Amino acid sequence: MKLIIDANKREGVINPELYGHFSEHLGRGIYEGLFVGEDSDIPNTDGIRNDVLEALREIEVPVLRWPGGCFADEYHWMDGIGPKDQRKKMVNTNWGGVTEDNSFGTHEFLRLCELLGCKAYINGNLGTGSAKEMSEWVEYMTGTGISPMTELRKANGREEPWKIDYFAVGNESWGCGGNMRPAYYADLYRHTQTFLRNYDPKNPIQKICVGPGTADTKWTKTVLDACYEDAPAGTHGFMDYFTIHHYVVPDTWEHKGDAVDDADSLWYKSLNKARFMETIIEKNEAILDQYDREGKIGLCVDEWGGWYDVMKGTNPGFLFQQNTMRDALIAGVTLDIFNKHCKRVRMANIAQMVNVLQSVILTEGKEMVKTPTFYVFKMYKGHKGGELVSSYFTGNKEIGPDDARVPMVSASASVKDGVLTLTMSNLSKEENVDLDVQIDNLNCSMKVSEAKIVNSAKVSDHNDFGKAEVVTEKTFDAYKVEGDVVKVSLPAHSVVMMQF
């Protein structure tokens, strides 16, 4: 099998935000996972866990989406500002019916972004909120003049405005966000986005419109049609981004399978569903191309990842699951797809950062583990901000059962600052694969500067609390450079990164 790369054929810039994250008020995602409060025994900075911060800095989080998800459409931001003992409490109706004390609100989220050095993506409440509420939230965070919300922010201790990069009008408005029909949502979107003012013209907020959660393109077509109708030239349908959600639910919603015990039996089904991301992206790209020929609107896959049955004995509303080699492969395959579609796909946010669904970090009390997905994100860092270069396979056979076929190898390559980063995944559960990687037009010697692998004996291997790490990033040395070809041997179920 051969992988042919042409370092001269540049195919777009890989926006660093393709490696973004999502954290919702759901289970132990925010509380315990990220935020433990200033008085906690767990070492923290302004209430945010130091161990988690340090780990997240290792993978260089580019952007964080908050406060939901479904939670966003019941969140009233004013409940989460001001003295903590006076903040309203609410029931988190979507996720376990637990009490939300609002101790993590706008100031805490934006402090977290500051500590991570990442961009802020706020998801507004269209379901039970209003244009006024969203408009005032933007004014509170970014207002510069003399205005009621700006004064309120200052009274709450924040003199300078924050920079808000992205703001979404609703979440899954076709489902938990209000069960809306697409034409109705489109009108609400057009109306609401009007009042999201730019207080800092040099840093306009990027407006995000809700897209579909399946491969059915009716939502996309209807929303774009309505948003483009009589829209003034240059407004590209009043939006900067259009979202897609796609989860790897390996079996059915009723039986999603266990995160660890079914990693083996649902291996190919899981990877097949991960690969389906490309179909959804392509379908939406095709429609966007009809309306937005200049490519102004970015696709934003702001929820993706593996979704399994919750860990036995945990609150079903908390969506806590382990993370195995299967998740490492889902991440590798998905990130390669995003890279390959970087011309249109400009942001993606894994669901979710800590303790929820396919997380990069899991915590339990004072303990923390880095998951296999964490290590894949770490290995893929070199792609961020790079230029995608052309790559294609010859002889990449299809494997897996009839109802879940997948290509044996996935790959993507990019160039940045004179370094070519190549990532490859072997999707086979048990077969190693020998691959000839031919790199044309590298214009320098084929010197491998770094090579890493995430791999483990069993596909169900994972990292657990109180135990030595099983799955981690290791040095990769199963390759030989011969002229302009690198002969690589990829072990079964592995994700590999090489830099030249």
Residues of this chain that bind ligand AHR (CB under 6 A): 24, 68-70, 171-172, 303, 351-352, 357
| Least gap, CB of 91 to ligand AHR (angstroms) | 16
Beta bridge partners of 424: 411, 496
Please say whether the beta carbons of 80 and 102 come within 8 A.
yes
* Residue 294: active-site member: no
Please say whether the beta carbons of 318 and 28 come within 8 A.
yes
| Least gap, CB of 398 to ligand AHR (angstroms) | 30
* Residue 431: active-site member: no
Q: How many CA atoms lie within 13 A of 448 on its CB side?
A: 21
Distance in Å from the first CA to the final CA of the chain: 20
Q: Residue 378 and residue 373: Cα distance in Å, rounded?
A: 9
Please say whether the beta carbons of 463 and 372 come within 8 A.
yes
* Closer Cβ to ligand AHR, 75 or 338, answer by number: 75
Q: Residue 329 and residue 400: Cα distance in Å, rounded?
A: 15
Q: Residue 9 and residue 6: Cα distance in Å, rounded?
A: 6
| Least gap, CB of 68 to ligand AHR (angstroms) | 5
* Closer Cβ to ligand AHR, 42 or 188, answer by number: 188
**CA distance readout (Å), 211 to 20, 73, 249, 280:** 18, 15, 19, 11
Q: What is the DSSP letter of 67?
A: S
* Closer Cβ to ligand AHR, 363 or 421, answer by number: 363
| Least gap, CB of 29 to ligand AHR (angstroms) | 9
| Least gap, CB of 321 to ligand AHR (angstroms) | 12
Dig out the tokens for 230 from the structure. 């009589």
* Closer Cβ to ligand AHR, 173 or 425, answer by number: 173
* Closer Cβ to ligand AHR, 95 or 268, answer by number: 95
Please say whether the beta carbons of 70 and 171 come within 8 A.
yes
* Selected catalytic residue, list 172, 229, 450, 482: 172
Residue with tokens 């993978």: 59
* Selected catalytic residue, list 17, 24, 100, 303: 303
Residues noted as catalytic: 172, 303
